[in-house]
Structure 1
Amino acid sequence: MARGSRLRAWGMILGAWMAVLSGLTACAGPYQYFEGTGIHDATAAEVAGGWENIEGTRVLLREDGTALLENLDGSGFDFEEGWRLSGTGTWRLVDPKGGQVVQLALTARTRVENRSAATATATAAPEPPTSYAWSFSVDRDEHGELNLFFLYGDPDIGNLYVMTREPASRDGGAPAAP
């Protein structure tokens, strides 16, 4: 076989492999395979307290492991449904290999709201769940303050739903109950 023929054959094989690998990784956005923040030093006492986000969501994580939730959106693809849940539940801080996670479970739903009029009037929208579970990753900002977040929507996009400490909780005061 001539040298040019061998190079062409290797080029075709390499090109085929690159096409296969491109196809396999085409949907792998920045957070598709998120494995955690690597944070392992947070304590349950540090996580307990009031949390909020810019959309008006409020969560109170009590030291006894109970929780109050107000207008908390669904995580992952459930976010697209548009419902926001309020009620009571439980929480716990776990420490898997990739980094700490706050597992929050709504056990008694007291209210459902919708983010927009479009989702409220959709005829095919499924009934919002009466119980639900979230996994908030634990992270620290540049000042060492805790943040809690989960990913929502298409994992290729990497949307973050971020909860920050309520100002009263940051200053050592008791957070307001949602």
Structure 2
Amino acid sequence: MAGGSRLCAWGAAVGGLMVVLAALTACAGPYQYYEGTGVHDATTTEVAGGWENVEGTRVVLRKDRTALFEKLDGQDFDFEDGWRLSGTGTWQLTDGGGGQVVRLALTARTRVESRSPATATGTSPPEPPPTYAWSFYVDRDQHDELKLFFFYGDPDIGNTYVMTREPGS
């Protein structure tokens, strides 16, 4: 019977460890440990130009590293606040171990819009920031065309906000 007790105790210990490990990794969503796209060959000339998404967002990255933003949503959990910012700012293409990133900085906000009408909860939405910064990962599609994206919302879901080249840009 002693051998059975030890086996039972060992099984309980392993089972407990599995529960702890599962709990620790349950909050590790798809992008929490995202290391990048591995793209290292994009040039600033290739990144410069007009970008858009299906929600009506438009970003123009000028060759002089200035930028124009129209209806750009917040990234990560800021997306949940529902504001969309327009204005001017700057951009830069950086390269790290995991791949390239386009960093955008809104320095002069000209307009704030809401993605959806205010809710009837009686609470007002958070005030949008006067300035803001985004980090877009640089990737290539199946046709080797650039696309830019960031993650938004709950990190466990892994939603991506994708910008593609404007036609003719």
TM category (shorter chain) comes to: over 0.9
Q: Distance in 2 between matches of 1:49 and 1:123?
A: 39
Q: Distance in 2 between matches of 1:120 and 1:90?
A: 37
Q: Distance in 2 between matches of 1:167 and 1:5?
A: 70
2:154 aligned with 1:154:
yes
Q: Distance in 1 between matches of 2:87 and 2:122?
A: 24
Q: Distance in 2 between matches of 1:67 and 1:73?
A: 15
2:103 aligned with 1:85:
no
Q: Distance in 2 between matches of 1:24 and 1:66?
A: 42
Query: CA shift at 1:35, angstroms?
Result: 1.7
For 1:150, the aligned partner's letter is F
Deviations 1:93-126 (CA, angstroms, capped at 9, x unpaired):
0011111100000000111111111269964212
Structure 1 counterpart SS, 2:96: coil
2:75 aligned with 1:75:
yes
Q: Distance in 2 between matches of 1:68 and 1:29?
A: 32
Alignment match, 1:173: none
Query: CA shift at 1:32, angstroms?
Result: 2.6
Q: Distance in 2 between matches of 1:36 and 1:19?
A: 30
Alignment match, 1:7: 7
Q: Distance in 1 between matches of 2:17 and 2:29?
A: 20
TM-score by length of 2: 0.94
For 1:114, the aligned partner's letter is S
**What is the aligned residue count?**
169
Alignment match, 1:176: none
For 1:88, the aligned partner's letter is T
For 1:17, the aligned partner's letter is L
Q: Distance in 2 between matches of 1:104 and 1:92?
A: 7
Alignment match, 2:49: 49
Change (3 A) 1:87 1:104: same
Query: CA shift at 1:48, angstroms?
Result: 0.5
Alignment match, 1:174: none
Q: Distance in 1 between matches of 2:6 and 2:130?
A: 64
For 2:90, the aligned partner's letter is T
For 2:47, the aligned partner's letter is V
TM-score by length of 1: 0.90
1:1-178, aligned counterparts within 5 Å?
2-118=2-118, 123-169=123-169
Judging by fraction of residues, say which structure has more strand.
2
Change (3 A) 1:121 1:3: closer
List alignment gaps of at least 5 residues for structure 1: 170-178
- The answer as to whether partners of 2:118 and 2:125 remain within 8 angstroms in 1 is no
